[in-house]
Amino acid sequence: MRKRGSASLLLLSLALTLGMTACSSGGGNSNTSGNNAAGNEAGANNEPAKTEATTLSIMWWGPDARHEATKNALSIYTKQNANVTFKPEFMAWDAYWQKLPTLAASKSITDVLQMDAAFITEYVSRGQLEDLSDIDLSGIVDPKVIENLKIDGKLYGIPLSQNAQGIAYNKEELEKYGIALPKQNWTYDEFFQWARDAHAKLPEGKYPIGDSIGWDSFNFYQTSMGKDPVMAEEGKKFTLDKDLFMTYYKTYEEFRKAKIVPPAEQAAAFLENDPQADPMASGVLLTRGATTGSVSALEQLMPGKVGVVNMPIGPSGGGWAQSTIFLSVSANSKHKDEAKKFVQWFISDKEAGKALGLTRGIPINPEIYKELEPTLEPKDKLGKEIYDLSVEKALPFYSAAAGFTEWVDTYKKEMEAVTYGQQSIEDAYEKINKMGMDLAAKAGS
Amino acid sequence: MGTAETLTQAPHTKAARTSLRKRKNKEETNLAGYIFIAPWLIGFLLLTLWPIAQSFYLSFTEYSLLEAPVWTGTDNYANIFRNDDTFTKSLSVTFIFVLISVPLKLFFSLLVAMALSKNIRGMNVYRTAIYFPSLIGGSIAVAALWRNMFGLEGYVNQVLSWFGIQGVGWITNPDTALGTLILLNTWQFGSTMVIFLAGLKQIPQELYESASVDGAGRFRKFVSITLPMLSPVMFFNLVLGVIGSFQTFTSAFIITKGGPINSTYVYALFLYEKAFKHYQMGYASALAWILLVIVAVLTALNFLASRYWVFYESDGGRAK
């Protein structure tokens, strides 16, 4: 009995300890944040001494190569500035954009974070990002580029690289079937005609181009024809040109009937950069969209076979060529000065430049790119080629406006129903247009 | 040591406790009991009950995570019921999923359980082998495997092609996509099967013996002994199956992403995308509460219906 008794006591005390840790972990959190707040006040009042130890939290998305390169760059910074250490977090694109809103809601965004052109206006409009206009970027970034990136006259993201949208094609197979390679600055008419001609020379089961269901593809078309982008003025102005919409999707309807694009059932299984399911690497499509930052992944799947061309153009131009990846600083950061110093270093230090390579596209700093150029591999050169081909006719990069994420999904689903033959183009237009108009009215109110 | 002894004996019988303990002693026991469950209780209050209460409040607001919630009254509920075609669509997809996959899974797992309840040498090996896939059944890895099996170039179509049959893109065809998810759900029969197996082992062997003496055949024994004796277990599996299937998410999320054209857009996936893709936390909370009500009503209906078919031996007949 005695033995059992003491065993129960032991259990009881164990339970108590558990209970107490559960309680204190809640209290502990508020304590630490209190400490941080105090530290921040001290830092804000007078310039932090050089020896003051600082830990900067930093978060980015990307593939493994980028993770490794960035971690190396961080350790170089710590070597140069012994007082600064990092708390890095890195993940894939999807996870990143799922995590960031929750961090924003709890005002705990990392000190430094990677930002994308598609989302930056949304985070700026919610007051989550720090104004970085006072960082000196002269001699590092072209002043024109900086002017273009300003939102309401302020800079909220330090551009890291040059990026551009283009089209990759299977050079080897096009030559094999005697199909002319796409030429720079082809127009939409030439692009569609090229697809028809190529189809005539291809065996069954191979298709010159893919189907089109995303809003961005149509937005490229609409803007190249001189119309407004689908979303303008932060989502207050919505333009979906019905004539252009009908012309564009009627062409794809003709293509589906003529088997110039693959059937919907097959297209739905495509998964870019997957060795088996990539539309182009699997040998089903002969072309697909690619960006400066992403084309190297495709090249690695089919080495030596990839060629690139810019997006088809219209009277106003076509595609885009500009910075889309930035480093931003959280508006709630406790270490803003250190963070600003770091982001400036990130694009100007030569050693960092070498460590980072082209893992975020073509470095924005021409000097760093010059140093890297002799060591570039073919996969990297393709990215540069897309940029060089696109820059002449490039239009601005248009992203979905804040509050339009659901509309983007709806667009895809309605157009998907069209490709499966379950809905007419006209019906899809009505639904997509109505939802867009409603959202624009809401954004304007 | 008195308290400790009380503790060790407390769970034994209610009667013993009330008759033997003094009042003071009992209070101490209660306190000790609460301390014992404190880790669970605190976790439940902070991590379950509080978020549930929060979501009820949020369901009457518009909340994008980035800005503070704005009270909108019953707007979310009104919009869901009046204007949201996707709500109707995802609800009907989910109902079809539940209606087909639950009976199918019950039937299949009962079948396997009966096969595994036979006394054959090495039965434990078979049981382990058959239960084994269920250990990984609900995982993302299996969902990814399913995607490869039923893809246009997947193993299923390869096998079909040996017989000269041209397969379809099972996952990318709107007519068959939901079927593949139902099949996956059925294949994850492990835990249901184990519960059936335990139930079968509980049926007294004498019942079968005396039935044999009376000349009953195998079918007759199954209908008149196995089914009624197993009905409480079946009811348990049915209730859990309905609740679980209504919340099905992983397979639709990984394999089909709700597509093609919403044909596998199950309710939980719809809710998830509203919340974490479109950041409409208020709307998503309203959807969650509607799901809760639907599942609660169906479970209540199940319990009502159980009076007519579930047999409890301890009550000497039908359930109360």
DSSP string, A409-427: HHHHHHHHHHHTTSS-HHH
Are B165 and B43 contained in the same domain? no
Our CA-based measurement puts residue B278 at a distance from the nearest CA of chain A, in whole angstroms, of 6
Q: How confident is the model at residue B14 (pLDDT cuts 50, 70, 90)?
A: low
Are B114 and B261 contained in the same domain? yes
B61-62 and A287-291 strand pairing: unpaired
> Three-state secondary structure along A203-235?
CCCCECCCCCCCHHHHHHHHHHCCCCCCEEHHH
A245-274 exposure pattern, b = at least 16 Cβ within 10 A, e = fewer? beebbebbbebbeeebbbbbbbbbbbebee
From the candidates A1, A4, A8, which should be mutated to test the interface with B, based on the most B CB atoms within 10 A?
A8
What pLDDT score was predicted for residue A125? 82
User: Who among B1, B35, B261 is closest to A12 (CB)?
Assistant: B35
Instruction: Say if residue A322's pLDDT is above 50.
Output: yes
What pLDDT score was predicted for residue B13? 55
Q: What angle do CA B257, B260, B262 make, to 5 degrees?
A: 75
Amino acid at B92: S
Please report whether residue B246 resides in a domain. Answer: yes
Instruction: Say if residue B181's pLDDT is above 60.
Output: yes
What pLDDT score was predicted for residue B15? 54
Instruction: Say if residue A328's pLDDT is above 70.
Output: yes
**A vs B: CB pairs below 8 A:** 101
Q: Which of B290, B114, B86, B269 has its CA nearest to residue B181?
A: B269
Measured between alpha carbons, how far is A341 from A54 in angstroms, rounded to an integer?
Answer: 12
Q: How confident is the model at residue B19 (pLDDT cuts 50, 70, 90)?
A: low
Domains of chain A: which residue ranges? Answer: 54-161+323-388, 165-321+396-444
Higher pLDDT, A235 or A37: A235
Q: Are A284 and A211 in contact (CB under 8 A)?
A: no
**Torsional sign, CA A183, A189, A191, A197:** negative
Q: Confirm or reject contact between A95 and chain B (CB < 8 A).
A: no
Domain extent at residue B273: 85-318
Mean pLDDT over B127-138 rounds to 77
Give the burial class of B200: count Cβ atoms within 10 A of its Cβ; 0-12 exposed, 13-18 middle, 19 or more buried: middle
Which three-class secondary structure state does DSSP give residue A292? coil
What pLDDT score was predicted for residue A38? 39
Instruction: Say if residue B298's pLDDT is above 90.
Output: yes
Please report whether residue B14 resides in a domain. Answer: no
Which three-class secondary structure state does DSSP give residue A114? strand
ipTM of the complex: 0.75
Q: How confident is the model at residue A325 (pLDDT cuts 50, 70, 90)?
A: very high
Instruction: Say if residue A59's pLDDT is above 70.
Output: yes
Mean pLDDT over A164-170 rounds to 93
Residue owning tokens 């190249």? A224
Q: How confident is the model at residue B138 (pLDDT cuts 50, 70, 90)?
A: low
Measured between alpha carbons, how far is B32 from B2 in angstroms, rounded to an integer?
Answer: 12
User: Who among A4, A19, A265 is closest to B173 (CB)?
Assistant: A265
- Residue A393 is classified by DSSP as T
Q: Which of B190, B181, B183, B192 has its CA nearest to residue B94?
A: B181
- For residue A44, what are its two tokens? 């804000």
What's the structural domain count of chain B? 2
Measured between alpha carbons, how far is B262 from A413 in angstroms, rounded to an integer?
Answer: 8
Q: Which residues are CB-contacts of B320 (< 8 A; sequence separation ≥ 6)?
A: B307
Chain A residues in contact with B279 (beta carbon < 8 A)? 101, 405
How many other C-beta atoms are found inside a 10 Å radius of the C-beta of residue A114?
Answer: 22
Our CA-based measurement puts residue B261 at a distance from the nearest CA of chain A, in whole angstroms, of 6
Q: Confirm or reject contact between A92 and chain B (CB < 8 A).
A: no
Higher pLDDT, B11 or A29: B11
**Torsional sign, CA B273, B275, B276, B278:** positive
Quote the mean pLDDT of chain A.
85
- CB-CB under 8 Å, B261 with A15: no
Q: Are A101 and A379 in contact (CB under 8 A)?
A: no
Are B29 and B158 contained in the same domain? no
Please report whether residue B78 resides in a domain. Answer: no
Q: Which of A367, A180, A378 has its CA nearest to residue A287?
A: A180
Amino acid at B298: L
The reply to whether A54-161+323-388 and A165-321+396-444 are identical in fold is yes
Are B106 and B201 contained in the same domain? yes
Q: How confident is the model at residue A33 (pLDDT cuts 50, 70, 90)?
A: very low
Q: Which of B72, B46, A101, A28 has its CA nearest to residue B54?
A: B46
Measured between alpha carbons, how far is A269 from A210 in angstroms, rounded to an integer?
Answer: 12
Measured between alpha carbons, how far is B7 from B30 in angstroms, rounded to an integer?
Answer: 10
What pLDDT score was predicted for residue B17? 53
Class of the A54-161+323-388 domain? Answer: alpha beta
User: Who among A9, A23, A417 is closest to B42 (CB)?
Assistant: A23
The architecture in CATH of the region A165-321+396-444 reads 3-Layer(aba) Sandwich (3.40)
Q: Which residues are CB-contacts of A378 (< 8 A; sequence separation ≥ 6)?
A: A299, A303, A304
Higher pLDDT, A35 or A96: A96
Q: What angle do CA A247, A249, A253 make, to 5 degrees?
A: 115
What pLDDT score was predicted for residue B30? 85
Q: Are B319 and B306 in contact (CB under 8 A)?
A: yes
Q: Which residues pair with A141 in a beta bridge?
A: none
Q: Most confidently modeled of A97-111, A209-223, B171-185, B249-263?
A: A209-223
Measured between alpha carbons, how far is B288 from B23 in angstroms, rounded to an integer?
Answer: 45
Are B190 and B43 contained in the same domain? no
Chain B residues in contact with A417 (beta carbon < 8 A)? 261
Measured between alpha carbons, how far is B308 from B320 in angstroms, rounded to an integer?
Answer: 10
What pLDDT score was predicted for residue A233? 84
- CB-CB under 8 Å, B4 with A8: yes
Q: Are A169 and A181 in contact (CB under 8 A)?
A: yes
What pLDDT score was predicted for residue B53? 94
Are B251 and B303 contained in the same domain? yes
Measured between alpha carbons, how far is B8 from A437 in angstroms, rounded to an integer?
Answer: 69
Instruction: Say if residue B99's pLDDT is above 90.
Output: yes
B→A contacts (Cβ < 8 Å), by residue, are 1, 4-5, 7-8, 32, 35-36, 38-39, 42-43, 46, 64-67, 151-153, 168-169, 171-174, 259-262, 273, 276-280
Q: Which residues are CB-contacts of A298 (< 8 A; sequence separation ≥ 6)?
A: A168, A272, A273, A278, A280, A281, A288, A290, A306
Give the burial class of B151: count Cβ atoms within 10 A of its Cβ; 0-12 exposed, 13-18 middle, 19 or more buried: buried
What pLDDT score was predicted for residue A4? 47
DSSP B221-280: HIIIIIHHHHHHHHHHHHHHHHHHHHT--HHIIIIITT-STTTT--HHHHHHHHHHTS--
User: Who among A4, A105, A413 is closest to B262 (CB)?
Assistant: A413
Instruction: Say if residue A95's pLDDT is above 90.
Output: no
Instruction: Say if residue A31's pLDDT is above 70.
Output: no
What pLDDT score was predicted for residue A442? 87
Q: How confident is the model at residue A10 (pLDDT cuts 50, 70, 90)?
A: very low
User: Who among B4, B36, B259 is closest to A5 (CB)?
Assistant: B4
Q: Confirm or reject contact between A98 and chain B (CB < 8 A).
A: yes
Chain B residues in contact with A19 (beta carbon < 8 A)? 35, 38-39, 42
Mean pLDDT over B122-133 rounds to 83
Give the burial class of A419: count Cβ atoms within 10 A of its Cβ; 0-12 exposed, 13-18 middle, 19 or more buried: buried
Q: What CATH number does residue B120 fall under?
A: 1.10.3720.10
What pLDDT score was predicted for residue A101? 83
Our CA-based measurement puts residue A268 at a distance from the nearest CA of chain B, in whole angstroms, of 6
Are B27 and B114 contained in the same domain? no
Q: How confident is the model at residue B7 (pLDDT cuts 50, 70, 90)?
A: very low
Our CA-based measurement puts residue A406 at a distance from the nearest CA of chain B, in whole angstroms, of 6
Are B38 and B92 contained in the same domain? no
